Chains A and B, each alone.
Chain A
Amino acid sequence: MIFREVEDRDLIAMARRGDVEAYNLLVSRWEKRVFNYLLRLVRHREDAMDVSQDVFLKAYQNLPKLDDAAKFAGWLFRIAHNEAFSLLRRRKPEGELGPETHAASGKGSLLPMELSLAVETALGALTEDQREAVLLKVYQGFKFEEMAEILECPVSTVKSRLYTALDLLKVSLAPEVAR
């Protein structure tokens, strides 16, 4: 008898048939990743939490439209991207809300706090597009092609945003690293 772990595609299939418990299990697998992506993008804990809930509700409502269950991650982050930028557009001008992420919680800083805070500040200094490119590549591990699908832009744009961001981060983090 062969036992196998219940995979996302099984849960997606069950959720499509109206199984809310299966969908809740799927949410529990992805909520931390989505929340952290949104937290670093919108830089506000409550907003990130609210948007996360909206993302998973929209995902549930649109699950029948997902063509390929194997592409669930990219599809989910595309919804998250759209919801986040919808919020950011409503919130303009940027900068009225200060960074309220790790500094507010004080949790999760396993390595020297100064460096974590410096990273937080350096990420905050990037444009939203540049920051998102770093979040999707460095923290979420998406490939350039997947990022291009999530962001609905050419791969060359994705690379340009990421490379510029890495150059800026290198400069802004250099003094912290040299300490």
Chain B
Amino acid sequence: MNHIDVKAYAVGEMSESDKRSAAAHVASCEACREELAGIQVTLSSLATLRDEEAPRRIAFVSDKVLEPRWWQKMFSPTFASACVLGGAILFHALANQGPSEVVIQARVQQEVGQAVEEMQDRLMVLEQQNKQMKQTYKAAMHLVTY
């Protein structure tokens, strides 16, 4: 009888199909069953060791030299998308000069309205994410002991 790699099976290093055939083999092979039981006892013993908290928190302070410059910040995804959107609106307005001024104005207002709504939604998402990160960071910083 060809035995299986019991240790690989015990530590979860098998594909789903291999696991199924290994389980079937273990059920019918006493030697593999015994070996598996022994490894599982060892793994259970190892699991009694609990993770410890680090004695101090690790945190780094901001280094101004490494911070992005103002012009680098301008190229953030939010700013870039706002520029693209603004350009598209302007291009659209200029390219469709056929209708009357009132129609153009209405169209621009509509486009701008939509763009503002989209940007507001996007801003809300970013604000929420920022708030969430600040809360997590604040909680982490609260635990820092020096």
Contact = CB atoms under 8 A, between A and B. Distances in A.
Interface of A: 1-3, 5-6, 17-18, 20-25, 27-28, 31-33, 35-36, 39-40, 45-46, 49, 52-53, 56-57, 60, 101-102, 105, 107-112, 115-116, 118-120, 123, 134, 137-139, 143-144, 159, 162-163, 166, 169-170, 173-174, 176-177
B39 A36 contact: no
Contact of A116 (B48, B56, B136): B48
A135 to B, nearest CB: 10
29 contacts: A1-B121, A3-B129, A5-B132, A20-B66, A23-B60, A24-B59, A25-B140, A27-B59, A28-B57, A28-B136, A28-B137, A31-B54, A31-B57, A35-B52, A52-B58, A60-B60, A102-B49, A105-B52, A115-B45, A123-B46, A138-B11, A138-B47, A139-B49, A143-B13, A169-B42, A173-B42, A173-B45, A174-B41, A177-B41
B54 A1 contact: no
Contact of B128 (A3, A28, A31, A138): A3
A23 to B, nearest CB: 6
Nearest to B133: A6
Nearest to A109: B50
B98 interface: no
Nearest 6 pairs of A and B residues by beta carbon: A108-B50, A28-B140, A35-B54, A111-B48, A20-B62, A170-B42
Given A1-B124, A20-B63, A143-B13, 6 more contacts: A20-B61, A53-B58, A105-B52, A115-B45, A138-B43, A139-B49
Nearest to B141: A24
A31 B53 CA distance: 9
Nearest to B129: A6
A120 B46 CA distance: 9
A82 B39 CA distance: 29
Contacts of A176: 45
B121 to A, nearest CB: 6
Contacts of B38: 170
Interface of B: 7-8, 11, 13, 38-39, 41-43, 45-63, 66-68, 72, 121, 124-125, 128-129, 132-133, 136-137, 140-141
B52 to A, nearest CB: 5
Where chain A touches its partner, the secondary structure class is helix
Contact of B66 (A18, A21, A35, A169): A18
A46 B55 CA distance: 8
Nearest to B50: A108
Contact of A31 (B39, B47, B58): B58
A23 B54 CA distance: 18
Contacts of B60: 20, 23-24, 27, 56-57, 60
Q: Which of B8, B52, B125, B133 has the most CB of A within 10 A?
A: B52
A159 B3 CA distance: 17
Nearest to A33: B51
B11 A45 contact: no
